[in-house]
Structures are given as structure tokens and as C-alpha cells.
A = this chain, B = another copy of it.
Amino acid sequence: MSVFTPVSEDQLAAWLKGYSVGAPVALEPIAAGIENTNYFVTTSQGRYVLTLFERLPASEVPFYLELMAHLARHGIPCPAPIAGLDDRYLSQLNGKPAALVTRLEGTSVEHPGLRECAELGGLLARMHLAARTYGGYLENPRGPKWWRRAAADVRPFLGEAALGLLESELACQAQRRFPDLPRAAVHADLFRDNAVFVNGRISGVFDFYFAGVDCYLFDIAVCANDWCLVDPERDCALDEGRTRALLDAYAAVRPLQPAERAAWPVMLRAAALRFWLSRLHDLHLPRPGELVKVHDPEHFRRILELRAAPGARAPWTG
């Protein structure tokens, strides 16, 4: 359960008087989500998601809201923040920073096929092109600097083999940064449960609260490590067909540069390292009051081991 701050119907009705979306019709807590309190809100005008920001620094929230607004006005199907009568996206509700965004239609796909991976690739590229003109700046909060801090935190909890993998990967990544790869504000957390589909077409991407400025290629690698596994339960190798479908659809919109193709295998490892570290951190150093289910870090350890193994092949570079 992840409603940290309850909102009553009366509180919602009073708060919505500061918006142009009509009167509330329904209010329904959303169980998913680990960082914020979320409700589905239906008004006489439409369907929305209300988010109360529980943990994000208040100074960072505008970066995310403005990014979503920027992408939405470029036609990217993502939650569009609704401005209040004071012309601001960010408001206060029950003492928390709060925002209202449009609700997307569609359902997530647990077992994406070639078509869904191609849909994702095309949208990812359109999103990257649209983000080029976004003026906000926030370095990926789960980038290399954070890896080093998180590694220091989790080292005491690791066995010898895991520690060896972590140290060698950090060393490898430290030697292989790519400051010249094209970059902009990217989603950086576009797992299958953060996208929805209608009739086989991708109808939306959401949960931008891990977004930050990083290489486009990092964003693609995060997707590949979740959407393109042979079998997430049993075999974390990349399925070549789906990975190619993702990359080809992407490249049809934004052709990849030779430097990006060369960096792909290392970027897949970087993306695996980032989620291995955050899952280790969530497991061993849960934050006070954390109520959410902790994902097993071993899944990303396996992915990292596979991607880092000598002779590992990554589709498109093999």
C-alpha cells in the first residue's frame, strides 16, 4: 500500500476549487507507486491522477512537472500536468507538495512482443527528440555519482562474489564514461509497468520521477534490460529479435551514432548496475517508514553478470 497521506473527498473538493477541471466525481487511492501518494481523480471534466510528493526534494519537483508538460505539448503521450488558477503546476495539499496530471488510457504489457518493443522504441526516440528543447536541468539522480555513494553504503552487506562484481563493474564504468554521447532529459526508469498500450499501440508512458539528464543510450539500455529479456524469470539474456525491434524502431526516428553503437554493451551494464545498486540499497538500508515491497536485487545482479561476461554479445554490436 502506498497512500502515505490520506486525502478525503471534502479536502479534494476544496483543493479542486483552485483548478479549472470541474467538480470531483470520484477519488480512488492507487496502490502502486513507491515514492509518492497517488489517487485517481474523476471530475465532471475528465480523469486525472493526483500525486502528493512524499520524498522528492521540493526543489526538484518542478523539473519533473515541467518536463512532462514539455513532452505533452510536443505530442508525447505522457501525463500532462494541469495548471491551477494561479498558473502553477505545483500546489500544496495536506501539507505536501501536490500536482494534478491527466490520466492515461491503456494497460501495461507484462510479456511484450516484437510489436510492443518496436512501439516503445519509436516513442522513446520521439521523446528524446522532443526533450532536446527542454530547458530544465537535473543531472540523473541515479547516475555515476550516486552509484559511488550507494556502493559505499551497501558494501558491508555483500558477500565476496557480489563485492568482486561490484568493484570490477564500478572500475570498468569509471573508465568508460561517454561525455560526448548525445544527451538530454530522459525518463531513465521506463520499465514495462510505466507504459500502457491500447490495441497494440503505445498509448502512454508515465512515472517520470527518476528522470534526469543523461545519455539517450542509457534510457534505451534501461528499457532493453526490462523489455527484451528472453524470460525475466529464467533467462536474463537479451532476446535478439525484441532487442533489434526496439533498436531498429528507435533508429528509424533518431539514427544512432557510431559512438552510441560502440557504447551499447557498456551502457547495458551501466543500466543493470544502477538498478542492482538501488535494489540493494532499498533491501539493506530501507528508509524509515518504508512500506513498499522490496524488489529482489539478485535479478539485476544476474543481468549485470550476463552483460559483463567475457564474450557477451549485445544485439546490434555483435
Contacts and interface: CB of A to CB of B under 8 A. Distances in A.
Nearest to A86: B133
Contact of A20 (B45, B84, B126): B126
Among A45, A75, A81: residue with most chain B CB under 10 A: A75
A74 B81 CA distance: 8
A255 interface: no
A200 B50 CA distance: 26
A111 interface: no
Interface string A123-138: 1001101101100000
A24 interface: no
Interface string A78-120: 0011111111000000000000100000000000000000000
Contacts of A123: 45
A127 B86 contact: no
A126 B23 CA distance: 11
Interface in A48-69: 69
Contacts of A83: 73-75, 130, 133
Interface residues of A, number: 31
A6 B45 CA distance: 36
A34 interface: no
A122 interface: yes
Contacts of A84: 74
Contacts of A21: 75, 126
A77 interface: yes
Interface string A2-21: 00000000000000000111
A69 B74 CA distance: 11
A295 interface: no
Interface string A152-167: 0000000000000000
Contacts of A100: 75
A46 interface: yes
A72 to B, nearest CB: 8
A20 B130 contact: yes
Contact of A133 (B44, B46, B85, B133): B85
A224 interface: no
Interface in A26-48: 44-46
A45 B77 contact: yes
B85 A20 contact: no
A106 to B, nearest CB: 13
Given A19-B74, A20-B130, A75-B100, 16 more contacts: A19-B75, A21-B75, A22-B122, A45-B77, A45-B126, A46-B77, A73-B80, A73-B82, A73-B83, A74-B82, A74-B85, A75-B83, A85-B129, A85-B130, A86-B133, A87-B133
Shortest 9 CB-CB distances between A and B: which pairs?
A87-B133, A21-B75, A20-B130, A20-B126, A75-B82, A20-B74, A74-B83, A73-B83, A20-B75
